[in-house]
Amino acid sequence: MTRKRHPAVLVTALAALAALPALPARAADPDPVPAPAPYGQGIDNCTGTAPVVCHFDVAPGTYDVTLTLGGDSPATTSVTAETRRAMLPETATAAGERVRRAFTVDVRTPEGEPTGPAGTPGLDLTFGGPAPALSAIRVTPAPRARQVVLIGDSTVCDQPGEPYAGWGQHLPSLLTRGTSVANYADSGESTVSFLANQALFPTVREKIRSGDLVLIQLAHNDKQTNAATYRANLTALVDGVRAEGGRPVLVTPIVRRWFGADGTLNNGTALLVNGLGVDHPAEIRALAARLGTPLVDLTALTKARVEALGTEASKALYLTNEKRDNTHTSVRGATEYARLVAAELSAQNLLGRSVR
């Protein structure tokens, strides 16, 4: 497979730091980074104050973004990219304090869901939070960065609008520079449709590089898929990833927030048993063992979390109050579930030191 190489791109913006001394890397920071250049051609690429919005006219690919956050006043800044992807959690800085942070971002078209709108060409970054402050920014190509590729449904995807959020949309904020998240999850997809749609698995296969981790969570929309077909489809996804040199990881689906009378999640709708009696999480666990693939048992992890919170407090993880929706997650739910995934990947040493 031939891969197009892009010429080096260096964009620097929002300067006024020429007199600022270099800051030493903090001992607690697992990702020390070089200082962004204080002046450059990109000074006009960012506009606004709350939020600050930056656009960089770069080709599709993988890029390192190095930032200096903070300013003369106290600030709290969060960073999202493209279609509401969380890249950095809120970072507080005192008056006069500046801190350096970095992440690696996937730029592509469409920039969000694979079957959604194309979005804006290039890289879009938004600096939000209660009082955002951006002092400098540098964007450089990172063609050899490690990729975490996501295959999934609406509970995983880059959701385009509030209040919806997918756990894959919040995974990037938990990974260090040098590892990007290429989220190809798409709303409404099953194992059947993900394999069949040219914009989905056929496209994903072309993007997989040797050694890439590929997380597969498909079950919510396999409502009428029988057990044999479900197993065959998951096997085809695993085999296809391996054929491209990727490392497949099977992920059981997040639970639906449906409680039984005893205060625990019911064994049917909540735990993803479909209309044909197919127990999706059980099928995935068994298949992972048979195929020798790593397993993230997100069903078990999210079940434990929802039941620990109980019937009322667990509503905050989903869109129960906002949309009467007990399947799709809020920003809080997506963030918590992304942490569960990241922690499990770290515990299984699948990402090395890439987890923050």
Domain-embedded: residue 222: yes
Could you tell me if 38 and 85 lie in one domain? yes
Q: What is the pLDDT of residues 263-310, one digit of tens each?
A: 999 988 999 999 999 999 999 999 999 999 999 999 999 999 999 999
Could you tell me if 17 and 158 lie in one domain? no
Count the alpha carbons within 13 Å of 154 in the hemisphere toward its beta carbon: 18
- Rounded Cα distance between 291 and 155, Å, is 25
How many structural domains is the chain composed of? 2
Domain-embedded: residue 356: no
Could you tell me if 159 and 267 lie in one domain? yes
Domain-embedded: residue 2: no
Q: Is the pLDDT of residue 25 over 50?
A: no
**What average pLDDT is seen over the chain?**
89
Nearest to 28 by CA among 120, 127, 101: 101
Domain-embedded: residue 53: yes
Could you tell me if 323 and 201 lie in one domain? yes
Of the two residues 313 and 12, the one the predictor is more confident about is: 313
Q: Mean pLDDT, to the nearest integer, of 258-267?
A: 92
Q: Is the pLDDT of residue 19 over 80?
A: no
Q: Which of 141, 158, 181 is the last residue of a domain?
A: 141
Domain-embedded: residue 337: yes
Q: What is the pLDDT of residues 136-159, one digit of tens each?
A: 999 999 999 999 999 999 999 999
pLDDT band at 37 (very low <50, low <70, confident <90, very high): very low
Residue 249 belongs to domain spanning: 146-347
CATH number at residue 214: 3.40.50.1110
Could you tell me if 77 and 164 lie in one domain? no
Could you tell me if 127 and 183 lie in one domain? no
Q: Which of 141, 159, 185 is the last residue of a domain?
A: 141
pLDDT of residue 44: 65
Could you tell me if 215 and 309 lie in one domain? yes
Domain-embedded: residue 259: yes
State how far Cα 59 lies from the chain centre: 20
Could you tell me if 196 and 341 lie in one domain? yes
- Rounded Cα distance between 29 and 173, Å, is 14
Domain-embedded: residue 241: yes
Q: Mean pLDDT, to the nearest integer, of 185-213?
A: 97
Q: Are 93 and 74 spatial neighbours (Cβ–Cβ below 8 Å)?
A: yes
Of the two residues 8 and 168, the one the predictor is more confident about is: 168
Domain-embedded: residue 274: yes
State how beta strands 134-141 and 98-107 pair: unpaired
Could you tell me if 122 and 257 lie in one domain? no
Q: Mean pLDDT, to the nearest integer, of 23-32?
A: 39
- Rounded Cα distance between 166 and 186, Å, is 10
**Tokens describing residue 304:** 């434990």
Q: How much of the chain exceeds pLDDT 70, in percent?
A: 88
- Rounded Cα distance between 84 and 82, Å, is 6
| pTM, 2 dp | 0.88
CATH number at residue 52: 2.60.120
pLDDT band at 12 (very low <50, low <70, confident <90, very high): very low
